[in-house]
């Protein structure tokens, strides 16, 4: 839960999720190209790779290796958990 909020706190990482929402299953290079082309983000490959690692450890992105390429997919389940806890609280959070 904490990891999800921290992952979403960064603008570049939110853009990455946007990119994957447009087309799921992109590789690292494809995501980099997408960010440069559509969002004016000009970070290095390594920077984006580290962002993807954060998103993955937060459960917001799942990966699938295919040869030497790593495909990234969005996972919205953690976001739904957030709404369950913060917008439709069924039980006392304290």
Partner DNA sequence: GCATTATGCAAGTATCTGCTTGCGTGTCAA
Partner DNA sequence: TTGACACGCAAGCAGATACTTGCATAATGC
The footprint of DNA (CB under 7 A) covers: 6, 9-10, 12, 27-29, 42-47, 49-54, 67-70
d(CA 69, CA 10) in angstroms, rounded, equals 25
Q: Which residue has the tokens 């559509």?
A: 38
Residue among 29 and 73 whose Cβ is closer to DNA: 29
CB 4 within 8 A of CB 21: no
Q: Are 16 and 51 contacting, i.e. CB atoms less than 8 angstroms apart?
A: yes
Q: Which is nearer to DNA, 50 or 88 (CB)?
A: 50
Report 19-48 residues binding a second copy (CB under 8 A).
Answer: 19, 21-22, 38-39
Q: Taking CB under 8 A as the criterion, which residues in 49-78 touch a second copy?
A: 76
């Amino acid at each position: 839960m904490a990891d999800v909020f921290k992952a979403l706190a960064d603008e570049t990482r939110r853009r990455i999720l946007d990119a994957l929402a447009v087309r799921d299953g992109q590789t690292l290079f494809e995501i980099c190209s997408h960010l440069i082309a559509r969002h004016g983000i000009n970070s290095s490959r390594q920077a984006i790779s580290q962002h993807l690692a954060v998103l993955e450890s937060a459960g917001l992105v799942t990966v699938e290796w295919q040869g030497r390429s790593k495909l990234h997919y969005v996972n919205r389940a953690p976001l739904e958990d957030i709404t369950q806890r913060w917008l439709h609280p069924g039980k006392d959070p304290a």
